[in-house]
């Protein structure tokens, strides 16, 4: 699923740089997330958790920077893992 991988990399970078992500965006771009494996699957889950946690980020100003660091680690893993 090379298109999913490209979307995940782009989206992780976007969120890490301060933008946002919704579950609708994520689900629209990666319709069959159950087929993802390895770092792609972990990246998808990381972005999904981010989208789910907007209420936590609103209440706790330290939460977003912490999660962005975790997303940066997922991006590194995804970029280092060979396709497929």
pTM value is 0.91
Q: List, for residues 22-65, the tens digit of each pLDDT value.
A: 999 999 999 899 999 999 999 999 999 999 999 999 999 999 99
pLDDT of 37: 95
| Domains identified in the chain, total number | 1
| Owning domain of residue 73 | 2-80
Mean pLDDT value across residues 56-76: 96
Extract long-range pairs of 66-74: CB within 8 Å, 24+ residues apart. Answer: 68/15, 68/16, 70/46, 71/12, 71/15, 71/16, 71/46, 71/47, 72/12, 72/16, 74/12, 74/39, 74/42, 74/43, 74/46
Tokens 């981010």 sit at which residue? 50
Determine the 3-state secondary structure of 82 from DSSP. coil
Predicted confidence band of residue 83 (pLDDT cuts 50, 70, 90): low
Predicted confidence band of residue 12 (pLDDT cuts 50, 70, 90): very high
């Amino acid at each position: 699923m090379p298109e999913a991988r490209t979307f995940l990399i782009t989206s992780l970078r976007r969120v890490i740089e301060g933008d946002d992500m919704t579950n609708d965006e994520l689900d629209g771009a990666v319709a069959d997330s159950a087929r993802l494996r390895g770092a792609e699957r972990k990246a998808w889950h990381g972005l999904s958790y981010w989208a789910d946690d907007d209420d936590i980020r609103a209440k706790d100003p330290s939460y977003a920077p912490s999660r962005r660091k975790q997303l940066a680690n997922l991006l590194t893993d995804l970029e280092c893992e060979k396709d497929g």
